[in-house]
A and B are shown apart, each in its own frame.
Chain A
Amino acid sequence: MAETRIPEPGPESPARMAPQASPALKPPRRRPKGYSVRTLPCFAVLAIFTFFALYAPILILVAFSFNAGESLARWEGFSLRWYVAAAGNEQVIDAAIRSVYLAAAAAAIATVAATCAALATTRTRRFKGRTMIYALINQPLMVPEIVTAVALLIVFAAIKVWTGHTSMVYLIAAHTAFGVPFAYLPIRARLETMDDTLEVAARDLYAAPFQVFRRVTLPLMWPGIIAGFMLAFVISMDDVVITEFVKSAGQETIPTYMLGQLRRVVTPEINAISSVILLAGAILVSLFFWISRNRR
């Protein structure tokens, strides 16, 4: 921090007065030492440390998923035993299948709904209620997840008692609602970069409205739709809080299963499951960035 105390000319110091008094004079010697305006002391060190700190815990977690022993801190040799254990664990496989099924169903419904809404709310002049539709679609993002979770618990508990029906419907509904704003964002962003010249041309060439949509609009907005689906999928796969409150007995997903396991003795099996999730997530996110960047 010593560097930051580079001499600062006081208001009456000759350094500040001199050039005003006689502009022809050369700059006085007491001018602060030259420095690059783009660097600040300690900032680069802190930044590099931050990047290190951001990745180190994740890398350690992945490393110990390959540990031959049961320790999460002492390396006892390379082994895939925890992956084998996880793959042979019926509860894990069961939860993983449920997670994927739930995320796929919720993301699919959310994407269809979000696509319709995005088509309706973009590329148009202001119409009555557009702001309200925006606000509604983004509403799930405004409220803390725990609040939504508790509200759904209240409503679904009443419905479950009333109908006696306890299937995955509740989880799918909850995840869909949460997925809509996430699916909507990239689709809307995509639509806003498209102008309607091609569609107007198609209409001029006597294409019926549905044909225009099917043959022109849809292919153009496809990258946005895929990106939206993937985002909704990832959000659903990662969700713990809402799932924890909405699920009925025996409806563990991977995150809620892991949360439950943390209360017991933790073995590197958790690391193995986490590593697989990380890998899947990293692939999806990279794909997402690639799609939304490449087609601009």
Chain B
Amino acid sequence: MSDATHPAPPPPGALEEEAHRRDTRTRWLMSLPAIFIIVCFAAGPLLVMVVYSFLTPGDYGNVEWEFSTDAWVNVLLQRDIFDDTLMWADAHLSIFWRSLSLSLITTVLALIFGVPTAWFIATQPPGKRELWLFLVTVPFWTNLLVRTIAIQELIRAEGVINTVLMWLGVIEAPIQMMFTDFAIAFGMTYVYLPLMVLPVYAAVDKLDFRLVGAAHDLYAGRWTAFRRVILPLVKPGIIAGSILVFIPCLGAYVTPRVLGGGKNLMFGNLIELQFGAGRNWPLGAALSLTLMVIVMISLVWYVRVTSRERENG
């Protein structure tokens, strides 16, 4: 295919091919700065982390350059100090379980509040929809930490909710809401709700309401029409929204740190711990890679749902 091997009269199309090749090269050169930045400061470090996960932890953090698979074993198991037997690492398992269950609870809460909101926006008159959508997106673009602080100030022992409830005489002593799993789920729902609303909105917006009307004409009650007509048509949007909420919940770090305190750790906080007080960088690297793989699997699922939807629609 290279130029040197061409016979003297260039076959038809050779010139175009040459031009196309040159064009491709220019395009690669132009993409190079972006590729360089991402390879060096985002993708590359992940590969370095793979190497680190197979090393031995150093005494004061960092690593010793000595091959070991302990970190990967320690993700799920722990070695007894006395008789060297392996058993389940209960501390890790309970944190994984909390991450998973809180992410699921958050997704369900986001469904309960997000789907009606999306439906509400999509059924507004066309001129008003954009404003409502804007109202949903604005909080999403405002600082995540600030929104978490807003929740924290709301549910503190001396926060607004407790103060108002005590003033009304509903409770006598403040309810402990901070530093509980409830606080984390509540905060994550608040923070990630727009991620549910937007894809569900897109699905409801495409919904052909004549189909619902047809169901009505065919004697379907409201509930039947919802279950048999609306839900199947909106389902791809609901699945997409659920995955979009679930993924950042799994990797959440700020919200559980601020609202969960030091005791109610999630996956992200467990990773941080290994680089702080835990001083076990290889384990931290192995945990990070585990989290990354779980998220990647969810993302592939998401891409398959949305692309199937695109083919059908």
Interface residues of A (CB under 8 A from B): 3-9, 15-16, 31-32, 34-35, 37-51, 53-55, 57-58, 60-61, 64, 71-74, 109-110, 112-114, 116-117, 119-121, 124, 127-130, 133, 136-137, 139-140, 142-148, 150-155, 157, 173-174, 176-178, 180, 184, 234, 237-238, 240-241, 245, 255, 258-259, 262, 266, 270-271, 274, 277-278, 281-282, 285, 289
Contact = CB atoms under 8 A, between A and B. Distances in A.
Contact of A177 (B41, B52, B162): B41
Given A40-B222, A144-B292, A154-B52, 15 more contacts: A37-B209, A50-B114, A61-B146, A61-B150, A72-B158, A117-B35, A127-B27, A140-B38, A144-B250, A144-B295, A146-B268, A150-B272, A151-B48, A173-B37, A177-B40
Q: Which of A41, A241, A266 has the most CB of B within 10 A?
A: A241
A192 B137 CA distance: 24
Given A37-B209, A113-B37, A147-B288, A61 B153 contact: yes
Q: Which 7 pairs across A and B sit closest by C-beta, in order of nearness?
A: A144-B251, A47-B120, A151-B45, A177-B41, A120-B30, A37-B212, A46-B116
Interface string B42-86: 111110110010000000001000000000000000000000000
Interface in B228-270: 230, 247-248, 250-251, 253-254, 257-258, 268
Contacts of A73: 153, 156, 158-160, 162-163
Nearest to B189: A53
26 contacts: A9-B219, A37-B225, A38-B209, A45-B116, A46-B117, A54-B135, A54-B193, A57-B153, A116-B34, A127-B24, A133-B34, A136-B38, A136-B39, A143-B292, A143-B295, A146-B251, A148-B45, A150-B272, A152-B41, A154-B48, A177-B38, A237-B143, A245-B272, A270-B149, A282-B138, A289-B134
A154 B141 contact: no
A117 B274 CA distance: 37
Contacts of A278: 142-143, 146
B144 interface: yes
Contact of B116 (A50, A121, A128, A151): A50
A178 B138 contact: no
A40 B226 contact: yes
Nearest to B32: A116
A237 B51 CA distance: 31
B33 interface: yes
Nearest to B20: A127
A142 B296 contact: yes
B272 A40 contact: no
B104 interface: no
B307 to A, nearest CB: 14
Given A4-B222, A113-B37, A145 B253 contact: yes
A234 B97 CA distance: 33
Nearest to B272: A146
A60 B251 contact: no
Interface residues of B, number: 99
B182 interface: no
Q: Which of B24, B116, B281 has the most CB of A within 10 A?
A: B116
B101 interface: no
B143 A150 contact: no
Contacts of A55: 135, 139
A55 B137 CA distance: 11
Given A146-B271, A176-B37, A271 B153 contact: yes
Contacts of B284: 150
Contacts of B253: 145-146, 241
B286 to A, nearest CB: 11
Interface string B195-236: 000000000000001001100100111111110001000000
B152 interface: yes
B41 A174 contact: yes
Nearest to B27: A120
A34 B220 CA distance: 11
Nearest to B248: A144
Contacts of B114: 50
Contacts of A153: 275
A259 B209 CA distance: 47
Given A5-B223, A8-B223, A146-B272, A40 B139 contact: no
Contact of A282 (B39, B142, B158): B142
Given A37-B212, A47-B119, A177-B37, A238 B42 contact: no
A139 B47 CA distance: 13
B299 interface: yes
Contacts of B150: 57-58, 60-61, 274
A81 B58 CA distance: 48
A40 B153 contact: no
Contact of B145 (A51, A140, A259): A259
A155 to B, nearest CB: 4
B112 interface: yes
Contacts of B288: 146-147, 150-151
Interface in B298-313: 299
